[in-house]
Amino acid sequence: MPASDNSALDKLQQRLEAGDCHVGIYGLGYVGLPLALRFAEVGIKVTGFDIDPQKVQQLNAGQSYIKRITGNDITAALNNGFSATTDFSQSAQVDAQIICVPTPLDQHHQPDLSFVTNTVDSILPYFREGQILCLESTTWPGTTEELLQPRLEQQGFTPGKNCALVYSPEREDPGNPNYSTATIPKVLGGITPTCLKLGERLYQHAINTLVPVSNTRVAEMSKLLENIHRAVNIGLVNEMKIVADKMGINIHEVIQAAATKPFGFVPYTPGPGLGGHCIPIDPFYLTWKAKEFGINTRFIELAGEVNHQMPEWVVNKVAEALNQHKKAINGSRILVLGLAYKKNIDDTRESPAVEIMQQLQDKGAIIDYSDPYVPSFPNKRDYHFDLTSVELTEESIQSYDCVVLATDHDDFDYAQLQECSKIIVDTRNRISGKTAVRA
């Protein structure tokens, strides 16, 4: 049984302050890999852990599987001491363990924390005193205290005494050229003040601005509030889009006019639905937890309902557009432009474009897609298309009865699309002209 000895944490603090520490990153996806590269960039030794041997093999060979991260970025990290492994026994060698694994919803829209708990359970056999464990995965308020802390204590580890436990939500924004892992302020909460202090010592090397808060629950709730704020406002503007459409009003012109007000208004843009790992999922973590306290979060759930219906709204627009040309969805050849959930990235998680494809196919359409960032349709839990990205040429565009612009990548030639398409259903307000139908 490990002893309750502050000397272990004193030694950890000294190593963290000096930057002479070894960091383990668990989950090398869109959050974990950029964080690992950032620690390596500032000269801290990093070991990346992942259960996917193909990812590990690619990284150790200096190859990247994320579009915005280059092979040169990986090679630079390898030269600075970064390595990747599937061997969790190496957890005993690191000083800090940072968990960046997915937290999806299950088929019943309930939080699925199995990736988190499985990762912690894989670490625990090798956990030792004088280590700091940090969770970055988005989750419901209380997760760190209610799931992680008891697991540590069952093994004889007490946060603040012989180990440290903190929560610091990830804030990655793929494709945003203005902010990086280093420049996005980082919220941080600890189980105890000592844990928080050690968490600050860890992240201060890699992150420019730290935002310490009083406890892990505040940190957990802050991430949910950020994404619920966006989900609710997007739900509002999507509902306004439906109303404006019925009234024959251009919602985009309305938004541009309202945005001229220099105070009290933040413009949000309607679209085909919510995508990415955070905004479509995170609000349901709070609604699920709130029920434990007898609270129904009706406002959040209503916004979720509106946003969830947007792919169906787009499909109805496709049906209307084809009907005007005396065609039906059934049997029509339809090209969906953009598979990623937002422009200029290769991340397709929860992308509304995929749901639009599925609904169109269910109605009998012959579906293809084109996305310069996604060369072949990825493996997904709920969707299966044996497709590769179509090259956009004058002939290929003209061969489709309808084109649906789902994701407005800057790489698309919009003049060519406007000239060659028979019908365009535009969900992103990028195309004008007689062939374009606004959705």
Above 50 in pLDDT, residue 17?
Answer: yes
Which band of pLDDT confidence, cut at 50, 70 and 90, is reported for residue 1?
Answer: very low
| Domain 6-214 and domain 309-438 have a common topology | yes
The predicted structure's pLDDT at residue 433: 61
| pLDDT tens-place string over residues 193-204 | 999 999 999 999
pLDDT above 90: percentage of residues in the chain: 87
pLDDT above 70: percentage of residues in the chain: 97
- Residue 214 φ/ψ, nearest 5 degrees: -70, -30
The predicted structure's pLDDT at residue 4: 43
Which band of pLDDT confidence, cut at 50, 70 and 90, is reported for residue 432?
Answer: confident
**CATH number listed for the domain at residues 6-214:** 3.40.50.720
Fill in the DSSP letter of residue 402. Answer: E
The predicted structure's pLDDT at residue 172: 87
CATH topology of domain 224-307: N-(1-d-carboxylethyl)-l-norvaline Dehydrogenase; domain 2 (1.10.1040)
Q: Which amino acid is at 230?
A: R
Catalytic residue list contains 420: no
- Would you state the structure tokens that stand for residue 122, as one six-digit string? 């894989």
The predicted structure's pLDDT at residue 437: 63
Query: Which of 166-180, 211-225, 419-433 has the largest mean confidence?
Result: 211-225
State the sign of the Cα–Cα–Cα–Cα dihedral 420, 424, 428, 432: positive
Contact 137, 116 (CB under 8 A): yes
The predicted structure's pLDDT at residue 439: 61
DSSP string, 359-381: HHHHTT-EEEEE-TT-SBPPP-S
- Would you state the structure tokens that stand for residue 287, as one six-digit string? 């609604």
Which band of pLDDT confidence, cut at 50, 70 and 90, is reported for residue 283?
Answer: confident
Strand partners, 24: 47, 97
Distances in Å between the Cα of 434 and the Cα atoms of 23, 161, 359, 403 are 56, 69, 26, 14
The predicted structure's pLDDT at residue 344: 93
The predicted structure's pLDDT at residue 330: 97
Any alpha helices (H) in 81-143, and if so which ranges?
114-123, 143
Which band of pLDDT confidence, cut at 50, 70 and 90, is reported for residue 275?
Answer: confident
Which band of pLDDT confidence, cut at 50, 70 and 90, is reported for residue 329?
Answer: very high
Which band of pLDDT confidence, cut at 50, 70 and 90, is reported for residue 84?
Answer: very high
Q: Are strands 186-190 and 210-212 parallel, antiparallel or unpaired?
A: parallel
Above 80 in pLDDT, residue 192?
Answer: yes
Q: Which residues contact 140 (CB under 8 A, 6 or more apart)?
A: 111, 220, 224, 285, 286, 288, 289
Residue bearing tokens 């996305």: 371
Mean pLDDT across the chain? 93
Above 50 in pLDDT, residue 282?
Answer: yes
| pLDDT tens-place string over residues 339-352 | 999 999 999 999 99
Which band of pLDDT confidence, cut at 50, 70 and 90, is reported for residue 3?
Answer: very low
The predicted structure's pLDDT at residue 144: 98
Above 90 in pLDDT, residue 177?
Answer: no
- Domain boundaries in the chain? 6-214, 224-307, 309-438
DSSP string, 229-296: HHHHHHHHHHHHHHHHHHHT--HHHHHHHHTTSSSS-------S---SSSTTTHHHHHHHHHHTTT--
Contact 296, 307 (CB under 8 A): no
Lowest mean pLDDT among 6-10, 93-97, 210-214, 421-425: 6-10
Query: What is the average per-residue pLDDT within 351-355?
Result: 95
Q: pTM of the prediction?
A: 0.90
Angstrom distance (rounded) from CA 183 to CA 225: 20
The predicted structure's pLDDT at residue 309: 94
Angstrom distance (rounded) from CA 28 to CA 31: 7
- Would you state the structure tokens that stand for residue 420, as one six-digit string? 């060659």
Which band of pLDDT confidence, cut at 50, 70 and 90, is reported for residue 67?
Answer: confident
Distances in Å between the Cα of 134 and the Cα atoms of 26, 96, 97, 142 are 10, 8, 6, 14
Domain boundaries 309-438, CATH class: alpha beta
Distances in Å between the Cα of 66 and the Cα atoms of 63, 69, 83 are 9, 6, 17
Which band of pLDDT confidence, cut at 50, 70 and 90, is reported for residue 2?
Answer: very low
Lowest mean pLDDT among 2-11, 42-51, 214-223: 2-11
Task: Output Rg (C-alpha) for the chain, integer angstroms.
Answer: 24
List the catalytic residue out of 195, 278, 402, 420.
278
